[in-house]
Amino acid sequence: MNSLSNLPAVLVLEDGRIFRGRSYGAVGTTLGEAVFTTGMTGYQETLTDPSYAHQIIVQTFPHIGNTGVNSEDPESTRMWAAGYVVRDAARRPSNWRSERTLDEDLVEYGIVGIQGVDTRALTRHLRDAGAMKSGIFSGDDAAKSDAELVELVKAQPSMAGRNISAEVSVDTAYIVEPADHGYTGEPKRTVAAIDLGMKSMTPHRLAERGLRVHVLPYNATLEDIKATGAEGVFFSNGPGDPATATAQVELVRSVLDAGMPYFGICFGNQILGRALGFDTYKLRFGHRGINQPVMDKATGRVEITSQNHGFAVDAPIEGTVTAPVERFGKVEVSHYSLNDHVVEGLSCLDIPAFSVQYHPEAASGPHDAAYLFDRFMTALDSAAEKDSK
């Protein structure tokens, strides 16, 4: 049965723009940064991506909830989005994998949502004015005056300057075994994965290639990494402003100094960028969706990628430069966005380190960039070969 709550609801932006609709999911108040995603599928993966913590997600695709929810697609153990904005919520899901309605899961995880919003007008506004503080208020909370609601929205911290890693990371380390991810035979190698809000598809992609993955919390040290026997280090995606990730930047520097292969995704790309001495900056409205075109400079191939980032690395997309932290040698931007020429990947030429700003683990698709996991395997093999000489 459909359980859409359907009470009055209002989406309020910090610049005073207000969108009225009906409640969807949990009823009450939520605050977060309003961002839009252009993914036409994968709402379950989106809502459970920890990188969306403290963000209110606007779905540009107008029909949401059509395929219900299942137990296989979540990217973590819960929904992380601060709030959810849709045009039309499906009244009844229809899919052979569906176990519940999306509305039921939104209620279960306390996600306050709003439906019936003109998401096209909202997206155009966020595109022009930029991602901004926002709030959804439903039920009795929607009855407050607009001025009062705008004040509540403005009072929240902004995403710039926010450090959220401790909220989303694991508390204790655990191991992901290749045998549990379809790999037959003895594990080939061991790596450490620093969980800054990691999507579960990522250790899966590593493990299915024969890597034993030690997942470590956000505040792991080089000693913790070495204690796992790791031959390489992976840094995950995650929410928050990379400019605040000082401890992780220092950790990456010590990993690079130790000569260990490094692979980073999204937050892990920004942290590598900072470790090399580049700055990061906030994009106006960011890149979110599963249809983002990226140029792979090495091959000239265009990849269609999954992305979710609001910050980016400030590095020249042309040519090769010496890293601002000179001991790390030469570096080049390996990938850039074809929409706005934002840096989408970094490749070090003198040390075994590379990263991408987008999501090669690609849940939910597309799979154009899966080769990057193989590239990490190759980097691990080369490092092991060098060590044995």
Ligand X SMILES: NC(=O)CC[C@H](N)C(=O)O
Residue span 247-266 as binding mask against ligand X, x where in contact by CB under 6 A, dash where not: -------------------x
Q: Is 277 annotated as a binding residue?
A: no
Q: Outline where 155-307 has alpha helix (H).
A: 165-168, 201-207, 222-227, 246-257, 267-275
Q: Decide the pairing of beta strands 83-85 and 55-59.
A: parallel
Do 299 and 373 touch, CB atoms closer than 8 A? Answer: no
Q: Is 311 annotated as a binding residue?
A: yes
Among 125, 214, 266, 348, the active-site one is: 266
Q: Is 83 annotated as a binding residue?
A: no
Do 115 and 21 touch, CB atoms closer than 8 A? Answer: yes
Residue with tokens 């003109």: 118
Stretch near ligand X under the rule CB under 6 A, chosen from 177-185, 186-194, 212-220, 237-245: 237-245
Q: Is 308 annotated as a binding residue?
A: yes
Q: Tell me the C-alpha distance between 334 and 21, whole Å.
A: 43
Q: Is 238 annotated as a binding residue?
A: yes
> Is 271 exposed, middle or buried (CB count within 10 Å of its CB: 0-12, 13-18, 19+)?
buried
Q: Verify whether residue 359 is a known catalytic residue.
A: yes
Q: Is 210 annotated as a binding residue?
A: no
Examine residue 285 and tell whether it contacts ligand X (CB under 6 A).
Answer: no
DSSP secondary structure of 88-137:
EE-SS---TT--B-HHHHHHHTT-EEEES--HHHHHHHHHHH-SEEEEEE
Shortest separation between residue 81's beta carbon and ligand X, angstroms = 13
Q: Is 16 annotated as a binding residue?
A: no
Among 84, 267, 373, 376, binds ligand X (CB under 6 A): 267
Q: Tell me the C-alpha distance between 304 and 187, whole Å.
A: 31
Examine residue 240 and tell whether it contacts ligand X (CB under 6 A).
Answer: yes
Shortest separation between residue 163's beta carbon and ligand X, angstroms = 10
Among 44, 51, 67, 138, binds ligand X (CB under 6 A): 51
Q: Which two tokens stand for residue 300?
A: 């000239």
> Is 58 exposed, middle or buried (CB count within 10 Å of its CB: 0-12, 13-18, 19+)?
buried
- Quote the distance between the C-alpha of residue 119 and its chain's center: 22
Q: Which is nearer to ligand X, 112 or 266 (CB)?
A: 266
Q: Tell me the C-alpha distance between 52 and 48, whole Å.
A: 8
Examine residue 46 and tell whether it contacts ligand X (CB under 6 A).
Answer: no
Positive or negative torsion for Cα 279, 284, 289, 293: negative
Do 348 and 331 touch, CB atoms closer than 8 A? Answer: yes
Q: Which is nearer to ligand X, 54 or 214 (CB)?
A: 54
Q: Which is nearer to ligand X, 11 or 266 (CB)?
A: 266
Stretch near ligand X under the rule CB under 6 A, chosen from 59-67, 254-262, 309-317, 362-370: 309-317
Q: Is 259 annotated as a binding residue?
A: no
Question: Phi/psi of residue 241, each to 5°?
Answer: -90, 120
Q: Decide the pairing of beta strands 88-89 and 63-64.
A: parallel
Q: Which is nearer to ligand X, 132 or 266 (CB)?
A: 266
Examine residue 310 and tell whether it contacts ligand X (CB under 6 A).
Answer: yes
Q: Which is nearer to ligand X, 68 or 238 (CB)?
A: 238
Q: Which is nearer to ligand X, 84 or 267 (CB)?
A: 267
Shortest separation between residue 50's beta carbon and ligand X, angstroms = 8
Shortest separation between residue 225's beta carbon and ligand X, angstroms = 20
The footprint of ligand X on residues 154-193 (CB under 6 A) is none
Size of the site for ligand X (CB under 6 A): 11
Three-state DSSP class for 234? strand
Examine residue 74 and tell whether it contacts ligand X (CB under 6 A).
Answer: no
Among 125, 287, 335, 359, the active-site one is: 359
Examine residue 309 and tell whether it contacts ligand X (CB under 6 A).
Answer: yes
Q: Tell me the C-alpha distance between 267 and 8, whole Å.
A: 37
Examine residue 237 and tell whether it contacts ligand X (CB under 6 A).
Answer: yes
Examine residue 335 and tell whether it contacts ligand X (CB under 6 A).
Answer: no
Q: Which is nearer to ligand X, 220 or 266 (CB)?
A: 266
Do 311 and 281 touch, CB atoms closer than 8 A? Answer: yes
Known binding-site residues equal: 51, 238, 240, 267, 270, 308, 310-311
Q: Which positions touch ligand X (CB under 6 A)?
A: 51, 237-240, 266-267, 308-311
Which residues are known to be catalytic? 266, 359, 361
Known binding-site residues for L-glutamine equal: 51, 238, 240, 267, 270, 308, 310-311
